[in-house]
Chain A
Amino acid sequence: MNKTALSIITLGLIIGIGIIFLSGSKSSSETALTQPGQNVEIRDGVQYITIDAKGGYFPRVSSAQADIPTKLIVKTNGTYDCSSALVIRSIGYQKVLSQTGEEIIDIGTSQTGSSVQGTCSMGMYNFVVNFI
């Protein structure tokens, strides 16, 4: 094969990698579009944000109310991948979650405009909760 063809293929592959990386995961964007705010619930003055951890965190972006005590509920269901090893730097939280179960994490009261971000230990999965 000549160089031009090979460089066109190379360019195509680089674009392909770019698309894979920059496009959100399919299921997460669907969740975000079809049910905005559905994973947020206020009970007895405490705001609970539910996040599913398996092959990533879903939904990836959540919006929640500021200025009320907030807890995250991270649900695992046969989760063995990196998303079970959760790190939330801003509150100094790190734990390998049990493979199936729910973990309730107190993230305190957040101010308007702030956000809480969680990643898995290797860093390739993440989620963010924006407080508005």
Chain B
Amino acid sequence: MDVIQIVLLAVVTFIFAIDQFSLTELVYRPIIACPIIGLIMGDVNIGLEIGGTYELMMVGNMPVGGAQPPNAVLGGIVAVLFAVKAGFDTQAALGASVVFALFGQYVVTLTFSFMAFLMAGADKAAAEAKPSGIVKVNFISMAILGSLFAVLAVVAYVGLDTVAGPLDQFSKDFSWVMGGLSAAGGMMRYVGFAILLKIMLANDMWGIYFAGFAAAALLGNVSATSGATLLLVAFIGIAIAMYDFNTNVKLSNAGGNGGQGDGI
């Protein structure tokens, strides 16, 4: 019975871990995931209770703008484990699961950092025009993320009360490594920007780049506009681009009609 439970737990955790970023992006939500874990553990009702409560907690804690809240997948799974196996009530189970949710967040940060290295393989596949290579990179990434989560869920199942303490201690002792990795994760996007700019940034475009930066700095720091920063920036950018387009079309038409007075 235990072996079947562990296998099922690992399999659904694997799926939830992938689903939190791909697939439906809904099945991993506690309101759906927790009853499923409850079913595996033999008590759907506890799963429903925890799932509903956790979901309401999360409504104020959405995965917005790339920030990683303590991980809901592991938090939910472990809360159900605590409630069913150790008999905790809903609130206590959710509280006890926080350290695991934190570890889920670490795993996500780690995976997202190191998956940047897979991009070199994707670049190679693109250079060779091999679509199968791109598909492979995506599957490898999902397998890594799913497996790490499945392992953590099984660890939580096997050593529910014994691992919480050491995990907590580890997260305290090595918080600087995790802090460093998430700082590095925040920096990696600058590499992505630089790759875009490498091709786009012609010599006459520098001013436009800094103008876009200034527009976002302005709109993003005013509370009334900060939510719509990039949409408003696009409006301004479209106006500049249309002006540029119309001016150049007129210039080239004027040039085409004989070119008189075209002193440029």
A interacts with B: no
